Structure formats: structure tokens, C-alpha cells
Structure 1
């Protein structure tokens, strides 16, 4: 049986269809999940995609983190289920307490939409096992609130424990230590601001580098 990977849709989600397609391109069964439904439909992993959940009216990701589906995700993540948060999904995971830190307004307060090179720092997560450490990957980014920040103690902990997964090579948004993505302590939960689901096919992406995250998850589930 193929891996079943769920993709959540919230009001204001923009990239759920793209994430579902990326899951299918990676050879897994794509399962749509609804924000108000606590049933995860027996999926093996979950993608929390990008967009502007609930319009970002309170704070990016803050309302979505309280949705019924996220309570189930938090419980399953505690049991080791792989979870990937992309852009707004990363913001949701920090608000839900699954990942540390916060994503704040970009340096200069501008919205950025550009392809950016990331350096892969950690290859032992459920979402990065097919990369090599130090590999440069080209991934689209589009956000206005992607500047990663955390207390000095948290930053020190992330660096010391090797939980920085991706770094920007250009750091266009001013993130602390150029951090573009981080993981949970067990490496099963990963969040990043750029959009790997937009780099899975030659026709539409600047590269195929984003596909590797989804292939890694499929391999992790099968292991």
C-alpha cells in the first residue's frame, strides 16, 4: 500500500491543491483534510500548507492553530507522525507549539516573491533524508511575515542540537542566523517558509528540488 499523506485546508489556504499534487507526484496517496474535522482519516503524515489561514486577522497562524484538525495533528505528532509546515503552515506549527520560534514581518516590511537558494543543514529528518548536507536547493518563496526569530536561548538550543534544517543563502527577510526552516527535537516535524510544493515539476517550478521533501517523507513512512 502507498503512503497516505494528508493536506489540510483552512479558510484562506492557497496552496493546498499544489501540496496535494506534490504528494501525488512523489507517489503517495493524497488525502484532503478539513480544518473543522478532527478526523485525520488514517493518514501517515500531514502537510500544513501555505496561504493566509483565517485571513491572518489575529496573527499569522494563531487562529488555525486552535482548529479541531490541529488538535489531532498535535496528538499524532507527539506519537511520531511526520508533519510538514510550509509558509503559513510553518507559522501555524509555531503557534501550535510543535516548533519553536516565531515568524515576524520581513526586514524592510516588504512582501517578497522570488526563487531562493537554500542550504540543507539537516538530513536526518523525516522530510530531508534524500538530500545531502550542504546541498543548495532552489525553491520559490512568497511571504511578508517570514523572518524567523526566537530568544537567544532558543536559537542556541536549535544550533547546538542541529535542528536548523534549512538556511537562506541570501537571507532576504532578515531571519536570525539566516534560518529558513527548523525541526522538532525528534526530526519528525519540519517547518520552512519557502514552498517546496512549487518545485516538483519541470513545467511549473524553477527546479525539482522541492520534490525531495515529499520523497523523503514517503521513504520515512515506508521504513
Structure 2
């Protein structure tokens, strides 16, 4: 399986994402600069965290117009897995690939610490290696991670089982319904604020995030198996 890690000006978690895929997952991965006009040959697209374009205007608002976003939208429409973490999640929201918006943390402070997440839906291509209702520990690092949507959108997310991760116990940023990660209706685009790529080895404090990437590979292999 071949992964693309999209690099925007200001990305700072791209190396972490690359390491998670190459060294921990053992799959092919390449950096793709934001001005590229093709993602042909890639099976999954990863948008890492950071401060794309300095977070000017709004987080992700300028990156949404990067040349490569047209190809990311095409990949999403084709059913390929697209994962946006932290700033990547914010970009997916700005691009309209996921519903809702991101606001400042309720505390108005940047928060960087491990948090507990609950698996709300383990039947997605991103969560299939977890148990339903499993509680995992993954770090966060953001100042604008307070996910918000209107009541109608929230009802739709709940009805379609698009809420994949919620904060377990403490809600660190004030996100509505404790939401930490959601998918699109098709289930192939996931946005989440916590950083699974920073939880892929016990040396980093835990490996609970590795199962997310293993889930992607397993789902891809199951859907691309060649029958004799």
C-alpha cells in the first residue's frame, strides 16, 4: 500500500506521519508538496498537523486553496482513505470534505498532553482494528480544536455513525458532544484532532495510535484482494 503525506508551508507533523507509516507500519510512503497536481498511484492520503500558511485568516483556510487539494477531493470522491490530523482536520473542514467548523479551545490556551479517547464506531476503515467502546490514549496539541456544528448536523453525524472518536472523561477543548474525530457519510474521510502518529511506539509513551494505520491497511487489502 502506498501513502502520500501532504506537506503544506507550515506543516510540522509531516515527519512524524512519515515515520509512522514507513518505520512502524512498514508500508510505502512519500512526501507530496502542496503545489503538486497529481496523486496518481497513491492508495491513501494523509494531511498532517502543523500551522499551514501560519494559520492566517483561519486554521486551514488558505491551505484549502492549495493546488493539491483538487486531487485530494478527487481521491476522496473515488473512495480512497483520506486522513486529516489536527491542522489536517481543520483543512478538511475548510475544504468541505467534512461538516462543521473548528473554534478556539474553550480555555483560549494551547493544550498539549495525552488524552483518553473512546472508540464510538469500530466499523470504519480507520477503526476496524479497535474494539467497540475501547478506550485508548493519544496525545493532542492544538489551540483551535473545539469542534462545532449545528444541531441538524450533529443529529446527522449521530444517525449515520460518523462520530468515530470522542474524548473519554475530560473534554480538553469544549468540542460539542465530546467529539474528537468524525468521518464523511461515505466513511472514507476521517478528521481528528488527536495525533495517532505520535502514539505508534511504546518509546513515545504508547502505541494506541498504530491500530488506526493498521486499520487502513487491513481495509485496503480486504477491498483489493485478487480472487484466483
TM-score category (smaller protein):
over 0.9
Report if aligned partners of 1:124, 1:187 keep a CA contact under 8 Å in 2.
no
1:190 corresponds to: 190
4+ residue segments displaced more than 2 Å: none
**Are 1:91 and 2:68 counterparts?**
no
Deviations 1:140-186 (A, max 9, x none): 00000000000111011101111101000111100000000000111
Distance 2:180 2:14 in 1: 20
Runs of 5+ in structure 2 lacking a partner?
Answer: 223-228
| CA distance in structure 2 between the partners assigned to 1:31 and 1:40 by the alignment | 11
Distance of 1:40 and 1:92 partners within structure 2: 17
In 2: Cα distance, 1:197 partner to 1:221 partner: 19
Indicate the RMSD between aligned Cα atoms, in angstroms: 0.8
Cα separation, 2, equivalents of 1:131 and 1:91: 24
Show the counterpart of 2:10. Answer: 12
Aligned to 1:35: 34
> What are structure 1's unaligned runs of at least 5 residues?
none
Q: How far has the Cα of 1:41 moved from its partner?
A: 4.3
* Post-superposition CA distance 1:36-74 (Å, at most 9, x none): 112214110011000000000111001111111111010
Q: Is the 8 A contact 1:117 1:136 kept in 2?
A: yes
Is 1:127–1:217's contact at 8 Å kept on the other side of the alignment?
Answer: yes
User: 1:111·1:143 contact (CA, 8 Å) conserved in 2?
Assistant: yes
Matched, 1:162 2:132: no
Structure 2 equivalent of residue 103 of structure 1: 102
Provide the residue aligned with 1:211 in structure 2.
210
C-alpha displacement of 1:100: 0.6
Match of 2:177 in 1: 177
SS of aligned partner of 1:191: strand
In structure 2, distance between residues paired with 1:62 and 1:126: 27
TM-score by length of 2: 0.95
Distance 2:99 2:117 in 1: 20
The 8 Å contact of residues 126 and 189 in structure 1, kept in 2 or not, is answered as no
CA distance, structure 2, for counterparts of residue 220 and residue 32 of structure 1: 22
TM-score by length of 1: 0.97
